[in-house]
Amino acid sequence: MKAKIGLAQINPTLGDLQRNLEIHRDFIDRGHRSSVDLLIFPELSLTGYFLKDMVPQVALRLDSPVVRELEEMSRGISLVIGLVEESEEALFYNAALYLEDGAIRHCHRKVYLPTYGLFDEQRYLARGRTVRTFKSRFGQMAILICEDLWHVSTVYLAAQQGADLLLIPAASPGRGAERGGKLEIAETWEAMNRTYATLFTMGVCFTNRVGYEDGVNFWGGSEIISPAGERLLKGNDFEENLLVGVFDLDEVRRSRISNTVRRDEDLDLTFRELQRIYRKHFPEGDGDE
């Protein structure tokens, strides 16, 4: 089975939900016209990135009319959309929804909120607590958002739950122009995407946004990597674009025949060692030992 995957390398307007919804409608229309099966938008695609005190103003509850409209738009084309999700207890999450056949199939709340250098997410957002996979019409999937990927453990957890495809919405700021023809950060991401795809024998779909916010550029360079580590699609740096590539789902099976890392992974070993390490970090008993 083959899936036509679209990467919506868009430039959202900071804090302007209505305008960003327009951009989503436009790209979804274009996706339909290109017979795209699955269209992946970047991190916080409905809101823009450096929201700061705007977070509560642009937050959406999953039962809100906007989300209902997005659900409706997922008929005939599966969607990954980034938003600020407001929980029932009024906590705000950097989240991504997987929408299919008119319903939300999965909501991933970003677990690692970068708060260093130019990032300040923990100041404004609540932290997700789970990494889960979910079933889609294209097989078992996981969504991880941008900084989540800088922690191997999240990808490991997704792989151990059987992920065939890893979807990565990102808002990665461009930086580091000292190393020759490519941004340092772009090189790092390309290495991570390829490594994860190969080490966990799964397809990797990475959608990074473009545009500028307060002088910070987002570099784009969205890509799809096969489970064999082969690049199937690559977007231009810096330019808004709908990228469309074909992903052969049978490639997952073939890759696992030639590369047996998934079969050979010893979850029991990892678990035992982690438990031992955990006990060492957090010894039992009360008071001084």
CB of residue 50 to other proteins, shortest distance in Å: 5
**Positions 217 through 236 that interact with other proteins (CB under 8 A):** 217
Does 214 engage in binding with other proteins (CB under 8 A)? Answer: yes
Interacting residue with other proteins among 6, 12, 15, 128 (CB under 8 A): 15
Q: Which residue has the tokens 């036509």?
A: 4
Paired strand residues for 210: 219
Give Cα 270 distance to the centre of its chain. 25
Q: Rounded to 5 degrees, what are φ and ψ at 36?
A: -75, 135
Please name the helix (run of DSSP H) or strand (run of DSSP E) that holds residue 179, with its range, or none: none
Count residues near other proteins (CB under 8 A). 25
SS3 label, residue 2: strand
51 scored as a contact of other proteins (CB under 8 A): yes
List 181, 283, 285, 287, residue binding other proteins (CB under 8 A): 181
Closer of 235 and 245 to other proteins (Cβ):
235
- Can residue 14 be called a binding residue for other proteins (CB under 8 A)? yes
Angle between helices 65-73 and 17-33 in degrees, nearest 10: 10
| Helix or strand (DSSP H, E) at 108 | strand 103-109
Task: Please state, in angstroms and rounded to a whole number, the distance separating the CA atoms of residues 83 and 93.
Answer: 8
Q: How far is CA 87 from the centre of its chain?
A: 20
Closer by beta carbon to other proteins, 179 or else 263: 179
3-class secondary structure, 94: strand
Q: Give how far Cα 22 sits from Cα of 25, 28, 47, Å.
A: 5, 10, 12
Q: Can residue 43 be called a binding residue for other proteins (CB under 8 A)?
A: no
213 lies in the binding site for other proteins (CB under 8 A): yes
Asked if 105 and 134 count as a contact pair (C-beta separation under 8 A), the reply is yes
Considering beta carbons, is residue 45 or 74 the nearer one to other proteins?
A: 45
Q: 114, 125 in Cβ contact below 8 A?
A: no
Q: Can you tell me which of 12, 174, 221, 245 binds other proteins, judged by CB under 8 A?
A: 174
Q: Report if residue 206 touches other proteins, rule: CB under 8 A.
A: no
Q: How far is the CB of 221 from other proteins (least distance, A)?
A: 12
Q: Is 116 in the site for other proteins (CB under 8 A)?
A: no
Site map for other proteins, 73-112, x if CB under 8 A? ----------------------------------------
Shorter beta-carbon distance to other proteins: residue 123 or 272: 123
C-alpha distances (whole Å) from 213 to each of 115, 134, 171, 216 are 17, 33, 11, 5
- Contact with other proteins (CB under 8 A): which of 88, 117, 129, 215? 215
Binding region for other proteins (CB under 8 A): 13-16, 50-54, 174, 177-183, 211-215, 217, 237-238
